[in-house]
Amino acid sequence: MGLTQLLPEPRTDVALEEAFAFPAEDTVRAVFIASVDGAAVVSGRAGGLANEWDRQLLALNRALADVIIVGAGTARTEGYGPAEDAPQWRHVRAGRSATAPIVVVSHGLNFDFDSPLFAEAPESARTIIVTSADAPNHARQRAAEVAEVIAAGEATVDLPAVLRLLRHRGHSRIVCEGGPRLFTDLLRAGQVDELCLTRNPSLVGGYGTGILRGAEFASPLDLDLERAYASDDSYLYLLYRRG
């Protein structure tokens, strides 16, 4: 069984690949899940909110991506490793490496460099660390032993420059998996084209993390809801584009 399409027109049994295909042009797509009350984590992690459809959607977005960009805090909290080879989506990576490389954004380079994110990344999709020019030199040297290290910006990471570098390498489909601070910074820089948001049909409460973190925008950023789908367990799968 597929998803039920709600927008742009009602349809039944829509395949996930059809529902969330990338547009042809260069695209930065942010991928998140949140509860009805806006919580992006349960017990500190996003994975507790997901159902099987959302896990399949995450795997599809990773397969569609040329690179997967993530903040250092999220990589540590979620226990990131390299992207997994998903057999059901291998056909969408025809002509590319089996998996997309992970790009981690970090100023301090405070990593366990023996973790799977670095130690288990295949040579065809070596992990990339993006940092700033004034990052600690000893940490940069250690990072360069296990990953590719790119400096963009002097005191802070220059995200538009990062995306230009990635596109220069032919990475036109960029998936951002968070965290909320990186997503906020990309939005401030005008670098996000799409938001793929799964709505978990629950209320979490508490003082947990949302999909954004940082100072309020000078004015709200408008989004256009392009597509909406539902599964029979009351989850919603939404695709927005920047207005």
Residue 5 maps to a domain: no
Residue with structure tokens 């709505």?
199
* In-domain check, residue 184: yes
- pLDDT the model gives residue 77: 87
Let me know if residue 2 belongs to a domain.
no
Structural domain that includes position 158: 26-242
In a domain, 19, yes or no: no
Residue 228: the pLDDT is 98
Domain assignment present for residue 120? The answer is yes
The reply to whether 230 falls in a domain is: yes
For residue 46, what pLDDT is reported?
66
Q: How many domains does the chain have?
A: 1
Contact 133, 156 (CB under 8 A): no
Q: Is residue 117 part of a domain?
A: yes
Tens digit of each residue's pLDDT (9 = 90 or more) over 145-193: 999 999 999 989 999 999 999 999 999 999 999 889 999 999 999 999 9
Residue matched to tokens 């993390």: 209
Residues of the chain with pLDDT under 70: 1, 46
Establish how many alpha carbons lie within 13 A of residue 135's alpha carbon, considering only the half-sphere containing its beta carbon.
25
Neighbouring residues of 147: CB distance < 8 A, sequence distance ≥ 6:
104, 113, 118, 121, 126, 127, 128, 129
C-alpha to C-alpha distance for 104 and 88, rounded to whole angstroms: 26
Q: Is 21 part of any domain?
A: no
The pLDDT score that the predictor gives to residue 9 is 96
User: For position 236, which CATH number holds?
Assistant: 3.40.430.10
- Answer whether 162's CB lies under 8 Å from 105's CB: yes
